[in-house]
Amino acid sequence: MRIDIITVLPNLMESPLNTSILKRAQDKGLVEINLHNLRDYSLNNQKSIDDYAFGGGAGMVMQIQPIADCIEKLQAERKYDEIIYMTPDGETMKQGMVNTLSLKENIIILAGHYKGVDERIRELFITKEVSIGDFVLTGGELPAAILSDAIIRLIPGVISDETSALTDSFQDGLLAPPVYTRPEDYKGLKVPEILLGGNHSAIEKWREEKAIERTKERRPDLLED
Ligand code: ADE
């Protein structure tokens, strides 16, 4: 899979994308991530990429030309399955959306800034708009890193224990059950006996019950879905 990210702040994205599991995924050739600095596509000496909003109002608007030039250059090189715009007014990111995106070959992610992008960018190029939740951040960079992380960890071979991505919270519509490691007894707080016994079918049953219990308590809306 190849992910091209268009941003005015490539530095902000370097560290989360080039650390730990995401770094290893790139080193193993399982994913290729390319950061594109939008200012490289500015045609003026100041390297600006935004301008005042027509009609007035606070906040600058990202202009069409630099974004269009960057996207068109990429499209001339290969075909893209999705061109995603990170924005608080997009579709809320959910595991099912991430699962679908993890099956794509080439995607572009545009990180928005300021008051947003000129609406015509959305009309011309964007195939999917994604929000990471009902709150507003300073820019789309961290949301783009979050979406990339969620997608990449699903690519086969990225997580060493293949079953572990499938047993995540949300993959079966339930939250994950509680987990424990050594010591068996910490200041009198004991690990549930059943997990120590080695009866795998009983352990599976216990985990499923706990997952349902936890989902009922914390996220009853998931059970309604
Ligand atoms: N940019 C700013 N806030 C955002 C959000 N919640 N989701 C996606 N992109 C954003």
212 located within any domain? yes
The last residue of a domain, from among 127, 152, 177: 152
Nearest partner of 63 among 8, 13, 10, judged by Cα: 8
Q: Are residues 138 and 178 in the same domain?
A: no
Q: Name residue 30's amino acid.
A: L
**CB of 116 closer than 6 A to ligand 1?**
no
Task: With beta carbons less than 8 A apart as the criterion, state whether 19 and 122 touch.
Answer: no
Residue of the CA atom closest to atom 9 of ligand 1: 87
At residue 116, what are phi and psi to the nearest 5 degrees? Answer: 125, -175
Half-sphere exposure of 178 (CA within 13 A, CB side): 10
**CB of 135 closer than 6 A to ligand 1?**
yes
Q: Whole-angstrom Cα distance, residue 218 to residue 32?
A: 37
Q: Are residues 35 and 145 in the same domain?
A: yes
Tell me the CATH number at 95. Answer: 3.40.1280.10
- Interhelix angle for 141-152 vs 20-27, to 10°? 60
Q: Are residues 130 and 21 in the same domain?
A: yes
Q: Are residues 128 and 212 in the same domain?
A: no
37 located within any domain? yes
**CB of 62 closer than 6 A to ligand 1?**
no
Q: Are residues 87 and 128 in the same domain?
A: yes
159 located within any domain? no
Taking the whole predicted model, whether its pTM rises above 0.85 is answered as yes
**CB of 107 closer than 6 A to ligand 1?**
no
Name residue, tokens 């990449």.
152
Distance 80 CA to ligand 1 centre (A): 22
| pLDDT score of 160 | 80
Which ligand 1 atom lies nearest to the CA of residue 93?
A: 7
Tokens of 215: 């989902």
160 located within any domain? no
Q: Calculate the average pLDDT of the chain.
A: 95
126 located within any domain? yes
Q: Whole-angstrom Cα distance, residue 101 to residue 88?
A: 19
122 located within any domain? yes
**CB of 43 closer than 6 A to ligand 1?**
no
Task: With beta carbons less than 8 A apart as the criterion, state whether 171 and 165 touch.
Answer: yes
Per-residue pLDDT for 140 more than 80?
yes
Distance 113 CA to ligand 1 centre (A): 9
**CB of 137 closer than 6 A to ligand 1?**
yes
Q: Whole-angstrom Cα distance, residue 213 to residue 216?
A: 5
Name residue, tokens 């059943």.
194
Residue of the CA atom closest to atom 6 of ligand 1: 88
Q: Are residues 186 and 143 in the same domain?
A: no
Per-residue pLDDT for 125 more than 80?
yes
Task: With beta carbons less than 8 A apart as the criterion, state whether 128 and 83 touch.
Answer: yes
76-95 confidence digits (pLDDT tens): 999 999 999 999 999 999 99
**CB of 143 closer than 6 A to ligand 1?**
yes
Range of the domain at 24: 2-152
| pLDDT score of 114 | 82
**CB of 177 closer than 6 A to ligand 1?**
no
Q: Are residues 123 and 220 in the same domain?
A: no
Q: How many domains does the chain have?
A: 2
Nearest partner of 146 among 5, 51, 41, 30, judged by Cα: 5
Question: What number of other Cβ atoms are within 10 A of residue 144's Cβ?
Answer: 28
Q: Are residues 41 and 145 in the same domain?
A: yes
3-29 confidence digits (pLDDT tens): 999 999 999 999 999 999 999 999 999
Per-residue pLDDT for 163 more than 70?
no
157 located within any domain? no
Residue of the CA atom closest to atom 5 of ligand 1: 88
